[in-house]
Each structure stands twice: as structure tokens, then as C-alpha cells.
Amino acid sequence: MASPGGAALQRHAAVAVLRAAAAAGDLSRVKALHAQIIRAAHFHVVLHNNLISVYAKCGQVGLARKVFDAMPFRNAVSGNLLMSGYSSSGRHKDSLALLREADFGLNEYVLSAAVAASAHVRSYEMGRQCHGYAVKAGLAGQPYVCNAVLHMYCQCARMEDAVKVFENMSGFDAFAVNSMINGFLDRGQLDCSVRIVAGIMGEVERWDDVSYVTVLGHCASMKDLVLGGQVHAQALKRRLELNVFVGSALVDMYGKCDRANDAQGAFDVLPEKNVVSWTAVMTAYTQNELYEDALQLFLDMETEGVKPNEFTYAVALNSCAGLAALRNGNALGACALKTGHWDHLVVGNALMNMYSKSGSIEDACRVFNSMPLCDVVSWNLIITGYAHHGLAREAMEVFHYMLSVGEVPSYVTFIGVLSACAQLGLVDEGFYYLNTMMKAFGVTPGKEHYTCMVGLLCRAGRLDEAERFIVDNCIGTDAVAWRSLLSSCQIYKNYGLGHRVAEQILQLKPNDIGTYVLLSNMYAKANRWDGVVKVRKQMKERGVRKEPGVSWIQVGTDVHVFTSEDKVHPQIDQITIKLEELIDQIKAIGYVPNFAVVLHDIEDEQKEEHLMYHSEKLALVFGLIHTPTGETIRIMKNLRICDDCHVAIKLISTVTSRKIVVRDAVRFHCIEGQGIQRICRWNRDIKDRRSRNPLVIV
């Protein structure tokens, strides 16, 4: 018979062998040793607890349970080890079931494991019972238990209970800080999160890098530059700004607070830059509309040997969208395809956005049809893309199909839908979507939706209703809504209302250039030249200058810019000769210059010459000269295209058999003359293969 000392040595040796086998992942060796223990009828709680631990770590939680059940008696460690094994395997309900049948002692570790399992399954009642037991047993003040209870309440959306636990804690560690902030952020309670962060600024010595990342993410969400600066200062004291994760969070925070230079500064000090930090600084520039800088960073990143991921490609593509840089976007799309990132949802959505904002809705449709998976952002992009290209019927068709396959529309979806209704003049349908369907989907109407409705009423000629709608829906401080009404007053020659609306806008924005221009144009159309003089005098007194009309076109890698009556472009003589030829051709098929859009008191001959040399016509002719026959011509303009140019360009499209896309200050104009086949279609058959159960609207 072995002495007690010898048995202890054997036990310790067996434990050492078990742990070595587990570390090596040698499950067969563990089972062999387990068999020896069974044959020797040797039981000791420490040895069997180690067996439970080893089986659990090897992913054999079923065998761990058999060891547990075969033990003649167990202690708290036994229960804790098996519960941890269940939790590690994602079997949190089994962990809680074990607690209910517990015949072993409960200590702070068992309780914290039980509370953690309650958090995973969002069982508030079970978690609260464990918390109550901990209070009665005097274990509620133990750090493990406190943190587990705090996290459980946050996960179960019981933030009032979480705050009570947090306030009673003797000190905050990083886990508690992170749990509280994430709990408030997940529930959109940003103001509460601010108070928590402000209250723990004196406890920063307890923060870890995750705490800093969490708090900085909160500051970014709130666009709270002051608090973000304070957190940055604390990070500097601990040299954590050199940590790539904290540094990337700083870059993101400054970017979302519209401080691109500070974001670049936080990026520059990082000793090691990974793809996350590069993507963060690119995002900062993109969010601040510094698209060219973002694309330059993309090139710099590749020069440094850092490989872009799907999020990097998405940011770069969105920068191309901001510039309407179709060629650059095509090149990036090809790179994403070559590197295997094309199939990522975020890249597909960014490609759709780029094509849509670059005037190539056909390519946006092609990407939409080819995406293996779509989310609500994908549907929103195709709906709003159609609407912005003047393809309102297609936008409505996609929206109705989106509902039929069970996709839930969002805030942005209804902006596209109401915009399409405005283009089609569907007043009753627009109000149905605003008042009934948005409510059914839990979407609260916002300023953008109300502005779309104002545009809808204005397009239908119901100007008085539009004015009442603005006042009744408390968007009277929105200059965009009033300007939409003012523009319609000019179209429908309601000059009395127009004058009143203009005064309303100028009270809100005294230096609003667009309002002065619309008011001046309204007077000019009414042949009230004294009013035009008065408006121009007011503009001069206030230092307000009308923005000159500018159009540009990309041919190859170069962008060519034109102004109205341009005399300085190096090829202006060649452009003028070609333009005069085209004007003669379109006059032969019915073109008559629209002198009504020339808002100057001059002779008709001068008006015709003025119309001929509008910047978009010059850019168009340049494109016809320098692009291959049949290629779509894409022109950008900083102001709205005039009616005369729209008619003339449509006729030029007919005589040249070219599709012409003009992006002005409002939307895209896809101009296709007679004989040009429209190929812009989304593929319903492809989407049918990915549909879910139809969603029934009551």
C-alpha cells in the first residue's frame, strides 16, 4: 500500500502529465491516463478537477461532464471548471442548467461564470437571481462578481441596474469602464455615456488600451472634440498614442470631428502603421470631403507595402464617388477583383455608390445584380441611384420588389422613394408612404423626407399647400425647403408668394446666393428689370457674388474645365466650329433657342449667342471631338442645367447617336436621343434567387 506521501507524488505526476498532454493537444494520451486512473480506482478531487479542465480545453465538454457525474463528491472548483467548459463551447444554457442542479459549493468564480452565462443568453431573471445570491453570501463586492454582474445588466439592457452596480464599486477597472460605455452606446444613450466618461476621467490609470479605444469611439459617435481631446491628453501621458489600436481610434475620432489635419497628425506619430490605421486616416479625409488626399494615401499605402483590405477599397471607392471619378473607380474595382475583395458586401456597396455618383447607373445595376448578398444599404443605393438619375419608375419598381422579398426599408430608403414620387407627381402616394408606411416600419420622418414632400407638392403646382406643409411640420428653419418652393414660384409665375418666400429665406441666411439668383431670375422673367437691378444692388452691398457656371469633362486622365463663353481653352476655335455645325444640324430637326432662360435685357441675337456658349455645350463638344464614336459622354456642372441646354443636348444626342449624362447641382440627367436603346435595368430574376419570405404590409 502506497504511503500518503507517495500517493500525493503520484497524483502530482498525473496532473503534470495531463496538463502536458492538454498543452500538446494530445487527446489520446489524456484518455489513456484517464483509463489508468479508472482501473486503479484512484479518486482525488484535485485529479478529477484537472481531468474536467483538460477535457474542456480539448473541446470534449461531453467527456468533462462524464467525469463530473462520476465524482463521488465535488467542490466549487469542479462546478466552475465544467461551467467554464460549457461557456467556452457556447453552451451557456447547459452552464445555467448545471447551476440549478448544483450539489457543489458556490464561490465568487462559480457565480461570476453563472452571471456571464446569463449575459450571453440575455437572461435577466437568472442573472438577477445570481446577483441576489451573491449579495446574501457577501460575495457581491468581489471584483470578478462585480464585473460579471455589471456586464450582464448592460447586455440585458438594464442600464439603471448597471449604473447602481457601477456607482457602488470601490474602484473601476478597464472591464467595468468598457462595459458601461458600450452598454450606453449600444442603446443610443450617448448623453449618459458622456456622464460616465466624464466621471471616470480621474480613474484613467485603471484604463487599458481597449478602454481608450472604446471611449474614443464614443467621442467619435458624439463628435465630442473637447472630451476626445482630454482623452488624447491622457493617452499622451501614458504614451498610448503610439499603440496602433489607440492611434487608429484617435485618427477616427478626429476625422469624425471634422479635424482631418489632427487625424493626420495622430497617424504620423504611429511607429508602426497597419492596414487599420491607414484605412482610418483615409476615412478621415473622405468624411471631410478631401477625396483626392484620401486617394493619394491609398497610393502611399501600397508604396509602403501595406496590402489594402475590403474596408480600404470601400473608402477609396467612396472617394472616387465624391469626385465622380469613374476611370479611377473602374481601376480600383479591377484591383478589388484581382485581390479577391470584390465579393465583400462593403466593396459591392461602395462600387454601386461610385458608379451611381459617377453617372453610370447601368454599371451600378450590373454590380447590384452580381452581388451574392445584399443588405438594406444595397437596396437603398439602387433606389436612390435610380431616383437621382431621373429614373423614378425604376426606383419605385425596385422598392416594391424590395418589400416583396422581405427586406425592411430604412430612413434612407424612404428618401429615395419620396424623391421618386416627387419626380412622378404622385402626391397621394407620397403622403401614403410618409404617413402610413413609414409608421408601419417604425421610421420617424425627418427633414429630408419633409423636404421631398415640399418638392412633390411644388412639382404638382400646389404651392400654397407646400407653404402650409413647411410651417405645419416645423421645417420653417430649413432654407432648402423654402428654396424649393421659391424655385417653383418662378416656374409657376407666382411672384407674390415668391417674394414672400425669398424674404423668409434671407432672414434665415442673409447671404444665400441661390435665393438672390432665383429672385433676380423671377423678376427678369416678369420683365421687371427694376427688380433685377434692386436685387443686384443688394448683393453688391452685402458682398454676395453669383457663382459662375462651370462644366468639366474627363477625357483620358485629364480633366478639362469650361466656363460660359470660354475664350481661353487652347482648343476653343475647334470647339466653336464644331458647335456651330451641331447647332445648324439640330435646328434642322426642330431646335429653337429658348430666349426665356436668358435673364438679361439684351437683343435676341445676343441672347442666341449667349445660349450657344453655355459651359455644358462647350464641354459636350470637346467630348464629341476627343472620345470614340458611341462612347457615353459624362459632364459635370456646378449649377443647374438650363432648359435650353437640356433640349439642345437631347437633340445633339440624336444626331450623334451618343448617350450623354450631365450631373448638375441637383441630380443626373441621362439624356438619350431617338434611336438610342436604354440598357439600364436591374435583373429581377437574379434577385429572385436570393429572396426571403415575402413581407406582408397591413
Q: Return all residues near 88 (Cβ < 8 A) that are at least 6 apart.
A: 56, 57, 61
Of 279, 328, 391, 312, give the one whose Cα is nearest residue 672: 391
pLDDT given for residue 7 in this prediction: 52
Query: Could you report the per-residue pLDDT of 306-356, keeping only the tens digit for each?
Result: 999 999 999 999 999 999 889 999 999 999 999 999 889 999 999 999 999
Q: How many residues does the chain have?
A: 698
Q: State the pairing for strand pair 633-637/659-663.
A: parallel
Alpha-carbon torsion (519, 521, 522, 523), positive or negative: positive
Cα separation, 262 vs 90, whole angstroms: 42
Contact status, residue 487 vs residue 520, Cβ threshold 8 Å: no
Helices 361-370, 376-388: axis angle to 10 degrees equals 160
CA end-to-end span of the chain, whole Å? 81
Could you please report the per-residue DSSP string of 55-71?
A: HHHTT-HHHHHHHHHH-
Reading the block at residue 492, the C-alpha cell is 409657376
The CB density around residue 440, as the number of other CB atoms within 10 Å, is 10
Pick the closest to residue 682 from 410, 363, 416, 420 (CA basis): 363
Paired sense of beta strands 550-555 and 558-563, if any: antiparallel
Q: What are 86's three cell numbers?
A: 460549457
pLDDT at residue 43, rounded to an integer = 67
Q: What are phi and psi of 531, to 5 degrees?
A: -65, -40
φ/ψ of residue 661, rounded to 5: -115, 125
What was the pLDDT predicted at 75?
A: 77
Which of 280, 360, 344 minimizes the C-alpha distance to 315? 280
pLDDT of 284: 95
CB count within 10 Å of CB 194 equals 17
Under DSSP, the state recorded for 669 is E
Element (H, E) at 148: helix 143-155
Strand partners, 561: 552
Query: Which contacts of 321-325 are long-range, i.e. CB under 8 A and separated by 24 or more positions?
Result: 321/350, 321/353, 321/354, 321/356, 321/357, 321/358, 322/286, 322/289, 322/291, 322/357, 323/291, 323/292, 323/295, 324/357, 324/358, 324/359, 324/634, 324/636, 324/663, 325/291, 325/358, 325/554
Spans in the chain with pLDDT lower than 50: 1-6, 9, 677-680, 685-698
d(CA 147, CA 627): 67
pLDDT value at position 378? Answer: 96
Q: Is 696 helix (H, G, I), strand (E, B) or coil?
A: coil
Which run of H or E residues covers position 666?
none
Residue 396 one-letter amino acid: M
Measure Cα distances from 281 to 182, 250, 253, 264, 270 in Å: 24, 10, 10, 6, 12
Cell numbers standing for residue 368: 447590384
- Per-residue model confidence (pLDDT) at position 543: 87
Q: pLDDT tens digits for 265-288?
A: 999 999 999 999 999 999 999 999
pLDDT at 587: 95
* Cα–Cα nearest to 33, from 16, 23, 18, 43: 18
User: How many other CB atoms are found less than 10 A from the CB of residue 450?
Assistant: 20
The whole-angstrom separation of Cα 329 and Cα 327 is 5
Give me the pLDDT at residue 429, please: 96
Q: How many CB atoms lie within 10 A of CB 145?
A: 26
Q: What is the largest CA-CA distance in the chain?
A: 125
Compute the 3-state secondary structure of the chain and give helix, strand, coil in percent, each to the nearest 5. Answer: 70, 5, 30
* Alpha carbon distance 616, 642 (integer Å): 10
- Do residues 390 and 671 make contact, with C-beta atoms less than 8 angstroms apart? no
Distance CA 490, CA 498 (A): 7
Domains of the chain: 383-542 (1.25.40.10), 553-666 (no CATH)
Q: What pLDDT is recorded for position 202?
A: 56
Q: Which residues on adjacent β-strands are paired with residue 558?
A: 555
Which grid cell is 606? 445676343
**3-state secondary structure labels for all residues of 395-439:** HHHHHHHHHHCCCCCCHHHHHHHHHHHHHHCCHHHHHHHHHHHHH
Residue 207: which residues within 8 A CB-CB, separation 6 or more?
A: 174, 177, 215, 234
Cell for 353?
Answer: 455608390
- DSSP character for 201? G
pLDDT of residue 213: 86
DSSP result, 316-331? HHHHHHHHT-HHHHHH
CB 321 within 8 A of CB 329: yes
Lookup result for grid cell 443688394: 538
How far apart CA 251 and CA 169 sit, in angstroms, is: 32
Q: Are 525 and 532 spatial neighbours (Cβ–Cβ below 8 Å)?
A: no
Tell me what pLDDT residue 686 has: 45
Alpha carbon 697 to its chain's center: 27
Burial degree of 565 (CB within 10 A; 0-12, 13-18, 19+): middle
Distance CA 151, CA 158 (A): 10
Taking phi first (over 0 means left), then psi (-120 to 50 degrees means alpha), and beta for anything else, what does residue 120 get?
alpha
Task: Find, among 197, 407, 117, 606, the residue nearest to 382 by Cα.
Answer: 407
> Which candidate, 160, 165, 137, 132, places its Cα nearest to that of 150?
165
**CA distances (Å), 331 to each of 231, 335, 634, in order?**
40, 6, 17
